[in-house]
Structure 1
Amino acid sequence: MTLRFRLLNVFSIDDDPFSGNPLCVFEDAGSLDPARMQAWARQFNLSESTFITAADLPAGEADVRIFTASYEMPFAGHPTLGTAHVVAELAAALGAQEGSGEVLDEVTLSMPAGRIPVRRIPGGWQLRANPAASRPLEVAPAEVAEVLGVGPGAVVVDGAHWVDAGVEQLLIELEDADAVAACTPEVRGLHERLAVPGREPQVYVWAWTGESTVTSRLFAASGSALEEDPATGSAAANLGSWFALTERRGLQVTISQGAQVARPSQLHLLIDDEGTVFVGGRVSEVGSGTVGQAGSRP
């Protein structure tokens, strides 16, 4: 038995083959148990890999599991967009075989965080985020700045909040792009002061760079290791949700992320007049292949 997979860059930039956030999508993983999915995600060692466990391709619906190299996630942005692209491609191939030639412009993915509608946009895909909840961080701005390794005035007053539109993350607004670029978080401080007990911290720092542009970085601590994500759709959804919760609606924002890890990325955030949040970006397919499933181990 073999497993088919595709490699994609999500939130990529046109004409840059090494931009965006890499993703592996396993096309037909219904036979895999969670331990085997985790093992394959660890084998590919990308920020996330997704597994399509069931699909109704004519209807554009699929069940999806998302794994990092270490654990399963209930929701993540770039895996959602990349997997929607693959589901639509599989549906198109099936339609060609059956003579329909139909191209899907809308896909719905079911994952532990719920059903996520995704639609095609020029050059890529856009998801609609689920409604979010928010709560303030009960830590002084100067203490937050100390953990991030920036000056005591770099954190905007009342600029740190937990937001959860599928994955709870700590969003921290900084005074400018220089402060975002200067962040050198201290891992122990992230665990002790900027995390929920029992959960690994995910901290998203951001700053306005113009009327409709933002620069951002996301840091995730796992034990003593610190990782930086090149493009974080779940955090963009949380940021858009924070704007909606604070009555900043009718916004279109372009988020730049990934420069510090040599994977420049662009995410497009839309908050409509009703406060619904959409996150979109370019999706580029860069390769495909198969892996063997013989034997008792992957």
Structure 2
Amino acid sequence: MELPFRIVNVFGIEGDPFSGNALAVFEEASGLDDSEMQAWARQFNLSEVTFVDDGASTDTARADGPARASVRIFTATYEMPFAGHPTLGTAHVVADRAAAHVGGPVDQVLLTMPAGDIPVRRTSDGWQLQANPPQHRQARATPRQVAAALGVPVTALVTGATQWVSCGVESLVVQVDDLEALRSAAPNPTLMLEHLAMPERPPHAYLWAWTGPDTIEARMFAAAGTTLEEDPATGSACSSLGGWFVGQGRTALEVVVSQGAQTGRPSRLVLTVDSDATIRVAGRVAEVGSGTVSRG
């Protein structure tokens, strides 16, 4: 049995084909069980791989309504209930498939995933997701423990600005006021696991700093055992940053987030927090390849 897939780059920068965060989308995955999906995600070894239930309802898409599909998101080692760049990249694929049934472009997609239904809409050069309302909890680690775990001077941490935030998947949002400290951050995975532990999955920490009135630079780190991973572009954590702004009472804003320079995959995310506290994350989506694999 042959399984078709597509490779898309999400949150990339126009003119740079190797920017953004790469994603593999299995577009006809209804026959795969959990262990097979995990195995294929491990085989592709990208930040995430998504699996679309092609028996869902892309065939019933209407030109005046969203295409609907169920999707599962896997890293190489575990399943994610929600993730930003997989949501946007999968929406691109689902809309393309649905367009064949409605005879024209499909500009809205509703993806059902473990974190719930995520609306996605087309923009001028990509897609924009609407995140779940944020949930907040205070960090138990002290500033010194956070700083040691993330490899930044404790003096660089903005007082009172470290918080766990989830819009479907939880991240520790950490603001620093020293851009060089952000760029030279050297997290210690052992200390991250000790001080920033999370239930069910490795700790994720999102460091960010202002670079202008409406521009931000960010880095996303995950620790697993003695291994440290840095993500090129993290839409879920960008959503959590939007949730952090909501918690601070800051709405009606739009910021451009730069991420991924240290990984060699520069990325651009657009975070919007509406006046009603709705959080949206947008970015460019570019399809770069497709193919099939044999199920065996």
Instruction: Return the TM-score normalized by structure 1.
Output: 0.95
Task: Map 1:103-182 to 2 at 5 A.
Answer: 103-182=105-184
Match of 2:208 in 1: 206
| Maintained 8 Å contact 1:141/1:156 | no
Amino acid aligned to 1:56: S
d(CA) in 1 for partners of 2:144, 2:202: 22
Count the aligned residue pairs. Answer: 289
Instruction: Compare 150-159 and 211-220 and name the one that shifted more.
Output: 150-159
Match of 2:257 in 1: 255
Match of 1:221 in 2: 223
Amino acid aligned to 2:56: A
Match of 1:73 in 2: 80
Match of 1:185 in 2: 187
d(CA) in 2 for partners of 1:161, 1:139: 10
Match of 1:98 in 2: none
Instruction: Compare 177-186 and 51-60 and name the one that shifted more.
Output: 51-60
d(CA) in 2 for partners of 1:135, 1:221: 20
Deviation at 1:224, TM superposition (A): 1.3
d(CA) in 1 for partners of 2:198, 2:122: 35
Match of 1:52 in 2: 52
Instruction: Return the TM-score normalized by structure 2.
Output: 0.95
d(CA) in 1 for partners of 2:148, 2:291: 46
Residue 94 (str. 1) matches residue 89 (str. 2): no
Unaligned runs of 5+ in 1: 96-100
- Which secondary structure state, in structure 2, belongs to the residue aligned with residue 158 of structure 1? coil
d(CA) in 1 for partners of 2:87, 2:205: 20
d(CA) in 2 for partners of 1:110, 1:196: 24
Q: 1:272 aligns with which of 267, 271, 274?
A: 274
d(CA) in 1 for partners of 2:217, 2:178: 9
Can you list the C-alpha shifts for 1:110-135, whole angstroms capped at 9, x where unaligned? 00000000000011000000111101
Amino acid aligned to 1:172: V
Match of 1:24 in 2: 24
> In angstroms, what is the RMSD of aligned CA positions?
1.0
Amino acid aligned to 2:74: F
d(CA) in 1 for partners of 2:57, 2:117: 14
- Which secondary structure state, in structure 2, belongs to the residue aligned with residue 80 of structure 1? helix
d(CA) in 1 for partners of 2:275, 2:152: 35
Amino acid aligned to 1:79: P
Amino acid aligned to 1:24: A
Deviation at 1:197, TM superposition (A): 5.3
d(CA) in 1 for partners of 2:175, 2:146: 11
Deviation at 1:266, TM superposition (A): 0.3
d(CA) in 2 for partners of 1:201, 1:282: 27
d(CA) in 1 for partners of 2:277, 2:118: 16
| Maintained 8 Å contact 1:142/1:153 | no
Deviation at 1:178, TM superposition (A): 1.1
Task: Map 1:31-50 to 2 at 5 A.
Answer: 31-50=31-50
Match of 1:244 in 2: 246
d(CA) in 2 for partners of 1:176, 1:4: 45
d(CA) in 1 for partners of 2:198, 2:99: 43
Match of 1:232 in 2: 234
Deviation at 1:198, TM superposition (A): 5.1
Percent of residue pairs identical: 56
Unaligned runs of 5+ in 2: 62-66
